[in-house]
Every structure is written in C-alpha cells, then in structure tokens.
Amino acid sequence: MKHLHLFFSGICILFAIIMAYMTYDRSKYGSSHHHTVAIVDSDKVINGSLALQDVQQQIREQNDKLQQEFEKELEKVKPSQEEFDLLSEEAKKEKAEQFSKYAAQARDDYAKKGSDLEESYKNSVDSIFNKIKEVAKKIAESEKVDLVLFVSSKNLILYSKDRVDLSDQVLKNVNKAMPKFVVK
C-alpha cells in the first residue's frame, strides 16, 4: 500500500506540472480557451474501492495459507524430541543436516510463492487503477473536463469547489463496474 501511495504521489506531481502549464495565461498569445480542471481524491477512491478491498482480503488469505503450508512442511520432517534423543551423535548430525536442507528448500519455495503473490497483487492493483482511469475519463468527457488530477486532497488541495471534485462519482461508478476482483 505504501508503494501505491508513492506511485500516486509521483503522478500527482506530474499532473500539477501539467495543470500549471494549462492554466498559464495564454491570452497574450491569442488563445482564450479556458481549461476545466477537476480532482479525484486518491485516498477516498483507493480506500472505498470494493475491488481493491476484495484484492487485499484475498492476498491476506493467500499469504496466511502460504505461511501455514510452510509451517506444516517443516513440521513433517522435524523429528520429535524423543525420536531425536534416541539417535546416535552421527545420526543426530545427519538428521539435522537433512532438516536444514529441507528447511532451506521449503524457504526458497515459500519465497518464490510469496514473490508470485506480490506480483499478483501488483497486477491486480494495476487493473483496478486502469478501471479507475477509464471511469474518470468517461465522467470527465461527459462533464467537459479537460484535466483530472488524481491527488490526495489531505495533502495537496488547499481549496476546491464541490463541482470540481469527481471523487464520489468515480468511486460510485468504479464500485458499480468492478465490485469484486479475482486475484490471478
């Protein structure tokens, strides 16, 4: 989630530069076209997205399942204390080496599956964000808005009229279009 906010902050800076360029006084150059700018509160849309909440829940469940599988794998080969005490020193050493080897392999498998799960999360978030952009674009076109900024209103917006905040419309339409999302 932290990476998601950093990504959106970078986008916000880019859009702020674009907005500054678009609102630059061009009247002295013969252009009298006024640009309409609207905002979408990133925190509101991200936190309110049913699809994103669904993805986060699925990822938590899959991560818990992976953790349980990892622990179960280690328990299968871990000798009991009574069994271990009955072994000779040589056998204890051999058993410990076998367990270490198996544990390292299980850790590698767990790390690979964790990495795959992280990649699935990233791909899911990208898909949801693309849907958010698509919905925002449709609303902007219908409202004749030239530029939509996806920003955290807590941090970057000092003032805006209600009519330029498309957050509620975007969130409503995203949740309608994508109430659930299946992590692949």
The per-residue pLDDT for 8 is 65
The per-residue pLDDT for 42 is 87
The per-residue pLDDT for 78 is 76
The pTM score is: 0.69
* Beta carbons within 8 Å of 152's beta carbon, 6+ residues apart: 5, 8, 9, 12, 41, 42, 43
Burial class (CB in 10 A: 0-12, 13-18, 19+), 119: exposed
3-state SS assignment for residue 16: helix
The structure tokens listed for 22 are: 């678009």
The structure tokens listed for 36 are: 């309409």
Distance CA 167, CA 139 (A): 10
Cβ 41 vs Cβ 165: under 8 Å: yes
Stretch (H or E) spanning 141: helix 89-143
Distance CA 7, CA 167 (A): 18
pLDDT by 10-residue block (mean), the chain, 184 residues: 65 63 51 74 91 95 94 80 79 84 90 94 94 94 89 69 80 91 85
